[in-house]
Amino acid sequence: MNKQFSMFGIALLILIVLTSVILGLAAGPTNPLTWLLVAFLISIPFIHKKMAKRTYIEWEDSYSVGLNSIDLQHKKLINLINQLQTAVDYSTGEEFEREALNDVLDYTKTHFTHEEGLLEQHGYPELEPHKAEHLRMIKYIEVTIAKYEKDPDSSINNALDFLKQWLINHINGTDKQYSSFMLEKGAQ
Ligand SMILES: [Fe+2]
Ligand SMILES: [Fe+2]
């Protein structure tokens, strides 16, 4: 469904319910349907929060790789992916989506450069396969941006699902593999 249309549909539904409640209360507060609609209106923020939790990534302590600088960068990457999700959810327009997507790409590159530099500095033996995994991710984001330019609506949600899944899997899998080695080397 078109994003703008679905946001418009939700806003229209809330407006209809709100009008029904006002008319219901004005006619006399005894109608149970009016109170049912009041309960629905009150529950909207809770429903919204629950739905948002499913789409946004929340940092968990279990994601820590034990190195402060890396954890901070992973948190920032999560924030940037969440910002992209916000841009898509609230239909802020293609300009903002494109900017958010480019921010994800730029900061992913920054993070990979920092992480690889730190691993190299401490002589991490699995650096090359780790670098190759990073390179595949960069390529994926670049291809996604190219697809986005051609067909924004259909490519962005797939990209978001992939980015979220990839980041958490990479942190919990490939990144965590260096934790004990790097901590033993005194990295922070
Ligand atoms: Fe990594
Ligand atoms: Fe990382």
Shared-domain flag, residues 12 and 84? no
pTM value > 0.85: no
Q: Are 43 and 70 contained in the same domain? A: no
Within this chain, do residues 21 and 114 fall inside the same structural domain, yes or no? Answer: no
pLDDT at position 108 is 97
How far is C-alpha 136 from the chain's CA centre?
20
Distance, CA 81 to ligand 1 centroid (Å)? 16
Distance, CA 22 to ligand 1 centroid (Å)? Answer: 55
| Concatenated DSSP letters of the chain | --HHHHHHHHHHHHHHHHHHHHHHHHH-TT-HHHHHHHHHHHHHHHHHHHHHHHHS----GGG--S-HHHHHHHHHHHHHHHHHHHHHHTT--HHHHHHHHHHHHHHHHHHHHHHHHHHHHTT-TTHHHHHHHHHHHHHHHHHHHHHHHH-HHHHHHHHHHHHHHHHHHHIIIIIGGGHHHHHHTT--
- In a shared domain, residues 90 and 176: yes
Task: Please tell me the distance between residue 35's alpha carbon and the centre of ligand 1 in angstroms.
Answer: 53
Q: How far is the CA of 24 from the centre of ligand 1 (A)?
A: 58
Q: What is the pLDDT of residue 76?
A: 98
- Please tell me the predicted confidence (pLDDT) of residue 3: 56
* 105 neighbors 145 (Cβ within 8 angstroms): yes
Say yes or no: 115 and 154 in one domain: yes
Whether 80 and 171 share a structural domain: yes
Predicted pLDDT of residue 33: 86
- How far away, in angstroms, is 89 Cα from ligand 1 center? 28
Q: Which of 121, 123, 129 is nearest to 174 (CA)?
A: 129
- Three-state SS letters, 63-86: HCCCCHHHHHHHHHHHHHHHHHHH
Domain count, the chain: 2
Residue 10 alpha carbon to ligand 1 centre in Å: 39
Q: Average pLDDT by consecutive 10-residue portion of the chain (188 residues)?
A: 64 88 84 87 79 82 96 98 90 84 95 97 97 96 88 83 93 97 91
CATH number, residue 132: 1.20.120.50
The protein residues having their C-beta less than 5 angstroms from ligand 2 (an ion) are 115, 175
Structure confidence at residue 67 (pLDDT): 96
Domain range enclosing 104: 59-184
How far apart are alpha carbons 50 and 37 in whole angstroms?
A: 20
Same domain? For 121 and 32 the reply is: no
Same-domain pairing of 89 and 126: yes
How big is the CA angle at 104 (ends 102 and 109), to the nearest 5 degrees? 95
- Helix 152-170 and helix 94-121, axial crossing angle in degrees, nearest 10: 20
35 with 99, same domain?
no
* Residue 53, pLDDT score: 64
What's the CA gap between 54 and 164, in Å, rounded? Answer: 11
* Sign of torsion over alpha carbons 130, 174, 102, 138: positive
pLDDT of residue 52: 65
Q: Same domain, yes or no, for 9 and 34? A: yes
Say if residue 150 is in the same domain as residue 84.
yes
Check whether residue 90 and residue 170 sit in a common domain: yes
